[in-house]
Amino acid sequence: MFSSNKASSASFLVLVLLSLAMVIGDLQFRVFNPIRPYLTWLVTPIQVVVSAPQKLISWADVRLDTREALVEQNQQLNSELLMLRGQLQRLTSLRAENVRLRELLDASQRVEERVVMAEVIGFDQNAYSHKVLIDKGFSNGAYIGQPVLDATGVLGQVVETSAYTSRVLLIADASHFVPVQLPRTGFRSILRGTGDMNHMELMSVPHTADIKKGDILSTSGLANRFPIGYPVGIVRNVRHVSGKPYADVEVVPMAQLNRSRHVMLIERSEDQRDSNETPAEAQPEGADS
């Protein structure tokens, strides 16, 4: 065992001396210059293997940093996109509101009576009653039976009032009746709500009446609730059913019942108010006409 240790030490010493001789020979006499390129081929795989973990770690760090930066940038862009979309929707809403206000202003200039502007701030959730809440009450001059219009036609009438708000019964409500006339011929009738915002019925129309699709119906002024001459609806369909005493006339309201935000309250004289103190729900308008 002792002899083997001596042999190992001698071999190691020989290798050290041989290495030193090779280093000195290469530095002084460039002995290995002819074979250096070939030795590089042998060393390159070792260098690749040794440097691979460091390169892998560097690549992973770069990719992780890039991914985190991209995720953060994506989140920031999504936030900005949502903000811009919200601003665009707001601008679109403001533009549409400006158009409606301009139409309402034009309509108010065509109204002969004095009007009060109001804003719709709520609506009834009851599926069997069509009412909206406005921001004007009796402290602003609102009263029961007061006609309400939007920019395109008759919307309804006030049926409940408080100090600062009022409820408006829409003309499409099944309990609402409006005396109307056909300006083209002078024909008069009662327009009844059906509970459908886009469908009303003209009552007691004889088969011989001159009425057709596209005719515009306006308030007749009978029952002294709505002033005469305001547009109410447009005839969508006229059907003559055999065996029925009257024609079926379907009318579409001209007012935007489920979309109007700004409305007009028409002020009437005290005498006209006194004759209209009963809400339309209790006494359907036009029943005595």
pTM of the model: 0.60
Q: What is the structure's pLDDT at 163? A: 93
Q: What is the structure's pLDDT at 160? A: 94
Q: What is the structure's pLDDT at 288? A: 38
Please say whether the beta carbons of 138 and 158 come within 8 A.
no
Beta-carbon contacts of residue 249 (< 8 Å; ≥ 6 apart) = 201, 202, 205, 211, 235, 237, 238, 239
Written as tens digits, the pLDDT of the chain (289 aa) is 556 666 677 777 777 777 777 667 666 666 666 666 666 666 667 666 667 777 777 766 666 667 777 778 787 777 677 666 655 655 655 566 666 666 666 665 655 567 888 999 998 867 778 999 999 999 998 999 999 988 888 999 999 999 999 999 999 999 999 999 998 888 999 999 999 989 999 999 999 999 999 999 999 888 778 888 888 999 999 999 988 999 999 999 999 888 888 888 988 766 656 555 444 443 444 343 3
> What's phi and psi for 175, nearest 5 deg?
-95, 5
Q: What is the structure's pLDDT at 121? A: 92
The total of other beta-carbon atoms located within 10 Å of residue 32's CB is 13
Q: What is the structure's pLDDT at 128? A: 75
Please name each of the domains of the chain with its CATH number.
115-274 (2.40.10.340)
Q: Rounded to an integer, what distance in angstroms lies between the CA atom of residue 32 and that of residue 36?
A: 6
Please say whether the beta carbons of 79 and 73 come within 8 A.
no
CA distances 99 to 104, 130, 259, 260, Å, are: 9, 25, 13, 12
Q: What is the structure's pLDDT at 157? A: 94
